[in-house]
């Protein structure tokens, strides 16, 4: 592999890395794009913060100047959905908080939010384990927390992680029976607790009991290869779980975030709920937007197994519909679900698709693929590109405008994209530790030539320059914008319950209402 990045302990010292020590930067003459506006302007950065965004800024000789004429200067991507060093299906995803983040930076993503998995149901033990994993971070990151059981201790610990540990979102897996899956009773308890804490509930929406049944059917039919994965968990099971989670969140009146929306079935449930005014966020992932399930039928196991993720990559047609939903606002932001396993790990399931570790790469490829698929094709504007890859994530997880914006006072997480250059993806040159890439051979227009994270140039001239330990944990505060006014909806619900009682109290002796 020609992967190039500095990692202390494997042959490079910090000084030898050529890490930019400049704390002052001027990005000159580019088109600065925010989610709401674009203009030609210079961007001046000092000590990791954007100081000024104005045309024709003058600076001293001690400032590193980057010419961005003819290019787009945009907020670094924020990936809302990753699994670095995740222990899952008897193994651990190969990209850790260093290699996964180095890959992210090479692809223009400057922050991600990873899922803490509890240890034997304990949130605090899980968080401690992830804090340890994240010590080698080279870019900013936040955490979501998965909930895998519910009791008084979990309820108390949810409050601790929100109020003291800076986590504002909890994920419930409705799939992975016998492992991470929760039932409806637990989901309801969790939704209520999320609401009381102003925390966002997230769901992996597939009916885990039905998937289990689907898997048994496949094995009985003698279908043991990777295609059995897709056949055992069809879109209807994703649609059912999405609808159920939406209805239960509506019953509790708390906002809901549906992760990795992969099918028309799930997307249409989200569209219906949003149309009715319910606070539901839908997150497609890049694999669901740009791939189809044909790879799962490849006769070569190594090729087919690399596409195994859950919910499965769907038949062609679903991806196109998800792209449409992203462009018309039914879906709001794009994640990756980056959970990379190498071909040795994928081969655990050579005789039985149920044992193939679920997950695909994407943290490095997301920005380029969304640009090429959505902007180059004319489906979304450049400002919308910024919104779906960065700003909306910052808003939902309540860190805007510190993140997700190029304005004075924001963190200096910035990318420079050349729309006239092109990218090509392959496992030989990617920065992930996995030996395969589900986007192998893809080319497209638009190349992220420079990534600046925390005010330092970390990707330039096709080289990543980072050191472990330089990334910061970003706390995400509760009560994001989705919660505003939610108490008013509660009040009107309660008054609607009271109404018949009042009526019967004021009913006249003739049985007629007095009003």
CB of 263 vs ligand URP, minimal distance in Å: 14
Specify the residue, 258 or 450, whose C-beta has the smaller distance to ligand URP: 258
SS3 of 396, please?
A: helix
CB atoms within 10 A of CB 58: 8
CB atoms within 10 A of CB 502: 12
Which residues are CB-neighbours of 222 under 8 A, at least 6 positions away? none
For residue 242, state whether it binds ligand URP (rule: CB under 6 A): no
309 binds, among ligand URP, Zn ion, none (CB under 5 to 8 A by kind): ligand URP
For residue 338, state whether it binds ligand URP (rule: CB under 6 A): no
Pairing of strands 456-460, 463-464: antiparallel
Specify the residue, 176 or 459, whose C-beta has the smaller distance to ligand URP: 176
d(CA 496, CA 478): 28
346 binds, among ligand URP, Zn ion, none (CB under 5 to 8 A by kind): none
For residue 430, state whether it binds ligand URP (rule: CB under 6 A): no
CB of 504 vs ligand URP, minimal distance in Å: 49
CB of 443 vs ligand URP, minimal distance in Å: 26
Please check whether residue 308 is in contact with residue 356, taking contact to mean a CB–CB distance below 8 angstroms: yes
Find, among 368, 452, 390, 460, the residue nearest to 43 by Cα: 452
CB atoms within 10 A of CB 488: 9
CB of 337 vs ligand URP, minimal distance in Å: 5
Specify the residue, 291 or 452, whose C-beta has the smaller distance to ligand URP: 291
Please check whether residue 409 is in contact with residue 49, taking contact to mean a CB–CB distance below 8 angstroms: yes
- Footprint of Zn ion on this chain (CB under 5 A)? 204, 337
Residue 195: C-alpha distances to residues 171, 242, 251, 259, 357 (Å): 13, 19, 12, 18, 33
Task: Identify the residue among 29, 76, 107, 359 touching ligand URP (CB under 6 A).
Answer: 359
Please check whether residue 282 is in contact with residue 313, taking contact to mean a CB–CB distance below 8 angstroms: no
Task: Identify the residue among 309, 322, 425, 467 touching ligand URP (CB under 6 A).
Answer: 309
d(CA 221, CA 248): 35
For residue 84, state whether it binds ligand URP (rule: CB under 6 A): no
Task: Identify the residue among 192, 193, 204, 403 touching ligand URP (CB under 6 A).
Answer: 204
CB atoms within 10 A of CB 55: 11
d(CA 376, CA 370): 9
Task: Identify the residue among 34, 358, 410, 432 touching ligand URP (CB under 6 A).
Answer: 358
User: Residue count at the site for ligand URP (CB under 6 A)?
Assistant: 8
For residue 310, state whether it binds ligand URP (rule: CB under 6 A): yes
Burial class (CB in 10 A: 0-12, 13-18, 19+), 360: buried
CB of 423 vs ligand URP, minimal distance in Å: 24
Task: Identify the residue among 83, 112, 165, 403 touching ligand URP (CB under 6 A).
Answer: 83
Specify the residue, 337 or 411, whose C-beta has the smaller distance to Zn ion: 337
Residues engaged in binding ligand URP (CB under 6 A): 83, 204, 309-310, 337, 339, 358-359
């Amino acid at each position: 592999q020609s992967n190039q990045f500095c990692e202390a302990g494997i042959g490079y010292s910090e000084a030898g890395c050529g890490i930019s020590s400049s704390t002052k930067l001027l990005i000159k003459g580019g088109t600065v794009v925010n989610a709401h506006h674009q203009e030609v302007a210079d961007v001046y950065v000092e000590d990791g913060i954007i100081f000024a965004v104005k045309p024709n800024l003058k600076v001293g000789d001690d400032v590193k100047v980057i010419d961005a004429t003819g290019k787009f200067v945009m907020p670094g991507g924020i990936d809302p959905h990753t699994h670095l060093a995740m222990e899952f299906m008897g193994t651990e995803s190969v990209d850790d908080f260093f290699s996964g983040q180095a890959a992210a930076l090479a692809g223009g993503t400057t922050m991600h939010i990873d899922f803490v998995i509890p240890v034997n149901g304990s949130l605090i033990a899980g968080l401690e384990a992830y804090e340890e994993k994240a010590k080698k971070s080279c870019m900013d990151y936040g955490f979501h927390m998965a909930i895998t059981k519910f009791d008084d201790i979990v309820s108390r610990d949810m409050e601790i992680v929100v109020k003291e540990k800076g986590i504002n979102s909890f994920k419930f897996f409705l799939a992975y029976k016998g492992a991470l899956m929760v039932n409806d009773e637990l989901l309801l308890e969790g939704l209520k607790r999320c609401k009381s804490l102003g925390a966002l509930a997230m769901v992996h929406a597939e009916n885990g009991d039905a998937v289990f049944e689907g898997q048994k059917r496949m094995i009985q039919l003698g279908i043991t290869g990777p295609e059995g994965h897709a056949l055992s968990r069809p879109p209807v099971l994703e649609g059912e779980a999405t609808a159920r989670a939406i209805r239960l969140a509506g019953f509790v009146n708390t906002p809901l975030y549906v992760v990795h929306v992969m099918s028309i079935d799930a997307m249409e449930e989200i569209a219906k709920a949003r149309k009715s005014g319910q606070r539901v966020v839908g997150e497609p992932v890049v694999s669901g937007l740009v791939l189809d399930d044909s790879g799962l039928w490849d006769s070569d196991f190594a090729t087919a197994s690399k596409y195994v993720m859950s919910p499965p990559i769907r038949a062609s047609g679903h991806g196109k519909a998800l792209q449409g939903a992203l462009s018309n606002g039914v879906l709001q932001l794009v994640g990756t679900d980056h959970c990379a396993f190498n071909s040795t790990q994928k081969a655990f399931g050579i005789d039985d698709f149920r044992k193939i570790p679920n997950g695909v790469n994407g943290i490095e490829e997301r920005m380029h693929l969304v640009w090429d698929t959505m902007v180059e094709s004319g489906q979304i504007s450049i400002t919308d590109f910024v919104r779906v890859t960065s700003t909306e994530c910052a808003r939902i997880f309540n860190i805007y405008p510190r993140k997700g914006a190029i304005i004075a006072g924001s963190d200096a997480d910035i990318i420079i994209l050349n729309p006239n250059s092109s990218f090509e993806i392959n496992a030989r040159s990617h920065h992930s530790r996995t030996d395969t890439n589900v986007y192998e051979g893809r080319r497209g227009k638009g190349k992220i030539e420079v990534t600046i994270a925390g005010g330092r140039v970390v990707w330039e001239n096709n080289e990543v320059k980072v050191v472990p330990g330089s990334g910061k944990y970003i706390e995400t505060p509760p009560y994001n914008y989705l919660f505003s006014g939610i108490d008013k909806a509660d009040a009107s619900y309660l008054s609607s319950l009271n109404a018949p009682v009042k009526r019967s109290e004021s009913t006249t002796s003739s049985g007629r209402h007095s009003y």
